[in-house]
Structure 1
Amino acid sequence: MASMQRILIVEDERDIADLIGFNLERAGYQILKAHDGIHGTSLAIHEQPDLVILDLMLPGKDGFSVFKELRRDARTRDTPVIMLTARAQTEDRIQGLEAGADDYLTKPFSPKELLLRVQAILKRSNAAPGSVVVEHGPFRFNKNDLKFYLDGEPVDLTGTEFKLLLYMTERPGAPQDRNDLLRSVWGYSDDVHSRTLDTHMKRLRQKLGPHAEMIETVRGVGYRVVTN
């Protein structure tokens, strides 16, 4: 239930933090706030919220530094993060997604859009598993603990990477349309966010190493996981 889920807002502009907090509280979430990077890092690690909304331009410690520290700590390694920033340039969005953020939203933004993205991320993070274990060639997924193994060795995937690769693996050989992937994994689909998908595919291929070719680009359609 949303009422049991806690969201940490790390945002130095108090009016923006209050606006986000107001809308999320109205939707039934519990809210924590920090207004600088140092406090935000400490609060995230000790309170272990269900999701973090992280501004990048923060006093004390910038958002990218906060994010890297959260990913290094076992207590927050898998905590979903939405990066929020006034930086609208494509390279900033790509840098955030390549770092492993689950989503990225630029200011000014619609509180309704932010809420929809929060709901989509928390829904997929808490989705009840069907078959617990999925295997395909060198891939092995454990849905109970969201662990992924490649040739029997654990590979550290973010929650979004896990969901994306699992979605395609459960449909081996079938080309998956870009828009379908965006809707199924991120909860929304439009041309603006197609780069989000490409960035995650690039990260997945890097992590798959010698098996990177198992993710195949289908020109004009999207991607697929190849069969052996």
Structure 2
Amino acid sequence: MKVLVLRPERAARRTADALAALGHEAILAPVLTIEDLANPVPDGPFDAVLATSANGLRKLRSRPEIARLAGLPLIAVGDRTAEAGREAGFATVHVAEGDGRALVAEAQARFPKPARFLHAAGADRAFDIAGALARYEHETVVVELYRATAATELPEAAALALADGSARAALHHSRRIAETFLRLSDTAGFAETIRAMPHAALAARVAGALETAGCVRVAVAERPDEASLLQAVLSLVDDGSPYRPGRSN
């Protein structure tokens, strides 16, 4: 089975490997591109570093400030982000299983008294971690290290796969990916096609964008990790429901 993988290219290749291990083929069609931002890393002191994505830690790793930050505890969302933290040199890594809300809960559990955090972040954030932690009297300094820039047209690989019906499903790792894919597909004339095809979403918030747009076959990962996302899409495709691809008029 061929599956559309829409996340940025570096991460998409890891997803392709995971699909291949399950006997399926990825169609790499990133609708977002990761760009570096040259914002300075603020001075400390900090009690811990927070990260909601591996991208923020990869960008932080290349900064000279990593030498003084890597000795701090890192609180990361998910195993992949935690792994990126260890690769960046963090020795103490705490994993929050879930999303930004889980990270806030983990930070509060680790630091019950007011603390000062550095959040290695992207320019677009789905959840206000600094605001949530402020309710517990924590201070969170946000440094935006990267930006995810949306494509202006549907990637050629996606257009070809939708036109010839070879794409059997699509994976959505974020709400912005889902919304961008929907917009670009509509513009390219595939509105009916993508609303009929199976979609797997990493979280309910991501699925909401697809359902609001009229997609009728949407599965949500049981846990916000890639293994669960792949299981979601495979179970959806294997449920026996018909899918008739094709370009809409």
Quick check: TM above 0.5?
A: no
The structure with the greater share of residues assigned to helix is 1
Under a length normalisation based on structure 1, what TM-score does the superposition of the two structures give?
0.40
Instruction: State the structure with more CA Rg.
Output: 2
Under a length normalisation based on structure 2, what TM-score does the superposition of the two structures give?
0.37
Q: Which protein has greater RCO, CA pairs closer than 8 Å, 6+ apart?
A: 2
